[in-house]
Structure 1
Amino acid sequence: MEPTNSPFGDNWDVLWFGHCGLQFPSASLPGAGNIPRGRVVRYEDSTVPQRQYLETVSGVNSLKDEYLSHTRVAHHVSDGACSLSYAVTQAGARHLLYWLGLKEVTAPFDILLRQFCEGTGGKAYHNCLTVQPALFQHYRPAGNKTFESEITSHGNEFRKKPMTKMIRWSVRLNLEALMNGRTDFVDQFPDME
């Protein structure tokens, strides 16, 4: 169906494209009665690393377990964490301001966004869409891992090379090539035979 209001489609509140992992909607997760369980699957997506490179903060990785390498799946948000990148419609922004601005703030923003999307935590359900793996991820510079987060311990080891988890051709790592019109990009997760 052609969109009528937006080139990105109509009838959604949030597109959550940068996260630390989430799960496919299922009957066993919070908000199960609210969240549609449909999926759009794209196989042979060369921008997705092979399965052995995929990880998630929840420890559950259905994408890795259920699909072949180089598969990206779009679906409704369920059990999301980290708010690295998201888009909001004007109507969605109004609802976010109401539910997350005028109601009690009882958790970090990413958890409140999860509840907003799922219709849990006393919030109404909203139409939020996402993809796995995420399109945006944390960039990790070379240096001491202690400085990577102020809320979670990442250890105190020294990272020798900068990296971006699960992003095959990281923009940050390939910025010089992109600016100069080159295509000799660093592939952080090349296919293993």
Structure 2
Amino acid sequence: MAASGDRDRVLSILRSPRLLLPTALLLSLIFLSYSLFNHVPTISRIGNNHIVASATGAFSYQRTSPIQNATLGFERVFILNLPERTDKLDAFTLSSSLHSPTFDVIEGVHGSLILNKSLPTLNKLPQKETARNNMLGTWRAHLNFAQRMVRERISTAIVFEDDADWDVNLRTQLEQFAHGSQYISSAFSPPTALKSKSYGGPHSPYGDDWDLLWLGHCGVSTHPADPRLFIIDNDPTVPSPLHRVNYQSIPNMSGFSNSTRIVHRVRSGCCLYSYALSQRGAQKMLLAQSTLTEFQPVDIAMRLMCQESDSFKCIGVFPQIIDTHKAAGSIERDSDMTSFDKQQARTKGFTNNIVRSTRLNWAPLLAGTTDAIEVQFPEDTPEIRGGVSMRTG
């Protein structure tokens, strides 16, 4: 009764005409401060996420809330960028600010500065100097990412190429992917370790037993040694098959609806628009690349690690959730490795495989008008029945 009386007196004071205006102003200031310091427009979450456990009930999912932090659930975030490509760094910085991750820059490398004697013992290099320099520069930049992880003892990190693009719902996609990577990586660990009372679940929201997470690519395939899948159904961020662009073999999706995304163990892949390494994965990458006997572009070299080494544990997602953006204007700006006709230009930018491109929606995101978000493929939107659901298969 006393508590009730105190509450009534407080409410009576707050309702006093003398306090109504100050109270309203105070609440407005609190809301404005929150908006200024958390200015990322709120995108509606994609339906209700229903987790369906495996038939045996042997696996339980750990929380994925750390993915909402400033590093997307990883310890660090990096971007690869040549110092002279300030335009690409500007664009990436803007996109990143709309999702609030903080990142560090790893400078790109000019292959012409790489001495042959600093390379592993190779029996084959590209004959043309331009091809050699481009391939070696990219290879070395990615190795510098792994080296930095090992040197600074970083537990997990994600790296983006500077022209990477993603859906405006990236964080929700990563939460869904994290459930899948936990499930797939759980098979890598001995059952006794996962059931141990001292285990207490993964330290990373993506699971603890993985080396590479292949998030941005131009094609991945499933691994015959591990046919398990984590299936995300009714996902409106999945492009229809008509708008999936890949350059190598991809998973067989014939048994799924056009709005399904899968998480799986990777056998092979190509393109490194974005990926994550664990500390262990970074160490393995340095070891494998320092003992090469035949030069391979870095994405092919990593594909071979996933393909040929059972101890290098790769997890991927299809369709991909990160791709490369092709900006409006001269197409010679697209690549730092390939020369294009300076006279060719595109009037509108695009990003393959991304339904609601962040880069194409800078204006409405900055304005907070999320109802004006542009969909890249409105004429071929997969039919969605119900909210997002997740299951193992």
Q: 1:182 to 1:8 in 2, by over 3 A?
A: same
User: What does residue 133 of structure 1 align with?
Assistant: 319
Larger Rg: 2
Q: Which residue of 2 aligns with 1:43?
A: 233
**Alignment equivalent of 2:369, drawn from 182, 185, 189:** 182
RMSD (CA atoms): 2.5
When residues 149 and 66 of structure 1 are mapped into structure 2, their CA distance, relative to the original with a 3 A threshold, is: farther
- Aligned partner of 2:297 among 94, 104, 108: 108
**What SS does the aligned partner of 1:130 have?**
strand
For residues 15-37 of structure 1, give each alpha carbon's deviation from its aligned partner in whole angstroms, at most 9, with x where no partner exists: 110001122334xxxxxxxx412
Aligned equivalent of 2:262 = 73
1:90 to 279, 284, 288: 279
Once the two structures are superposed, residues 74-129 of structure 1 have per-residue CA deviations (whole angstroms, 9 ceiling, x without a partner) of 111122000110111111111111112x212610110011111122xxx5641110
Question: Aligned equivalents of 1:16 and 1:132: distance in 2?
Answer: 10
Determine what percentage of the aligned residue pairs are the same residue.
Answer: 31
Q: Secondary structure at the match of 2:268?
A: coil
| Cα distance change of structure 1 residues 150 and 65 upon mapping to structure 2, 3 Å threshold | farther
Q: Normalising by the residue count of structure 1, what TM-score does the alignment of the two structures yield?
A: 0.81
Q: What's the secondary structure of 1:173's corresponding residue? A: helix
TM-score (norm 2): 0.42
Shift of 1:70: 1.1
Structure 2 gaps, min length 5: 1-59, 63-200, 382-393
Alignment partner of 1:7 out of 202, 205, 214: 205
Tell me how far 1:177 sits from its aligned partner. Answer: 2.1
Instruction: State the shift of 1:191 in Å.
Output: 4.7
Aligned residue-pair number? 180
Change (3 A) 1:152 1:24: farther
8 A contact 2:251–2:318 mirrored in 1: no
Pair 1:40–1:4, CA change in 2 (3 A) = closer
Q: Is the 8 A contact 1:84 1:136 kept in 2?
A: yes
